[in-house]
Amino acid sequence: MEVKVWEILQGPIAVEDFNEDYEIPEGSEHLLVCRVEIDGELEEDNFWFEDLNDAYEWVKYFSATAEPLIIDTGSDPEYN
């Protein structure tokens, strides 16, 4: 299955800056909240990063283009 990431709505946010309860994946240090398209439906989703530089790669991508970032989730049960 493909997930199209259209834009970053918030972030990167460091996990130590959270004032809400989140289920943070082990090893994650930063969060991006993004608008995604799944099966033709737009929604918000959280993307977790272990490294700030990896999160900023997404920021740079969306600063340079209006094209979606396409992620092949394969058989990830979160998206199936």
Domain parsing of the chain, residue ranges: 2-72
Name the percent of the chain lying above pLDDT 70: 90
pTM, to two decimals:
0.83
**What pLDDT is stored for residue 80 in this prediction?**
43
Cα three-residue angle 64-50-23, rounded to 5 degrees: 110
Interatomic CA distance for residues 12 and 22, integer angstroms: 15
Burial of residue 34 (number of CB atoms within 10 Å: 0-12, 13-18, 19+):
buried
The dihedral through the CA atoms of 9, 60, 50, 38 has a sign that is: positive
pLDDT digits (tens, 9 = 90+) for 33-58: 999 999 999 999 999 999 999 999 99
Interatomic CA distance for residues 71 and 17, integer angstroms: 27
Arithmetic mean of pLDDT, 9-33 = 87
